[in-house]
């Protein structure tokens, strides 16, 4: 599944001077995941990120999660969490 909300980039872009990678944005923030957090993702956990004290982003590992990983990924999960269907 391709998700237009995700981009793999080689550097952090300053939203004041660049429109990469998603077009004009008004703020940006960098979050660094440590080894324990990456391990939690690999174990099927979901990581909740506070974004500038205003939003929450939930991150989960797609290929690892599932019947064996404990958190099956379905479109209904996204729709239930956001109140809208996934893209």
Q: Mind listing the pLDDT tens digit for each residue in 3-34?
A: 899 999 999 999 999 999 999 999 999 999 99
Let me know if residue 64 belongs to a domain. yes
The mean pLDDT of 51-74, rounded to a whole number, is 72
Let me know if residue 3 belongs to a domain. no
Let me know if residue 45 belongs to a domain. yes
Q: Mind listing the pLDDT tens digit for each residue in 30-48?
A: 999 999 999 999 999 999 9
Let me know if residue 66 belongs to a domain. yes
Let me know if residue 76 belongs to a domain. yes
pLDDT band at 68 (very low <50, low <70, confident <90, very high): very low
- Provide the whole-model pTM: 0.63
Number of domain units in the chain = 1
Closest-CA residue to 25 (of 39, 42, 13): 13
Let me know if residue 74 belongs to a domain. yes
Give me the domain span that covers residue 51: 35-82
Let me know if residue 41 belongs to a domain. yes
Find out whether 58 and 46 touch, Cβ atoms under 8 Å: yes
Let me know if residue 1 belongs to a domain. no
Query: Cβ of 85: how many Cβ atoms within 10 Å?
Result: 9
- Above 50 in pLDDT, residue 51? yes
């Amino acid at each position: 599944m391709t998700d237009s909300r995700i981009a793999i980039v080689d550097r952090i872009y300053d939203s004041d001077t660049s429109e990469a990678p998603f077009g004009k944005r008004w703020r940006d923030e960098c979050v660094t995941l440590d080894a324990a957090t990456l391990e939690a993702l690999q174990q099927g956990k979901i990581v909740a990120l506070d974004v500038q004290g205003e939003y929450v982003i939930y991150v989960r590992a797609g290929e690892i999660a599932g019947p064996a990983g404990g958190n099956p990924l379905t479109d209904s999960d996204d729709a239930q969490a956001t109140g809208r269907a996934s893209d």
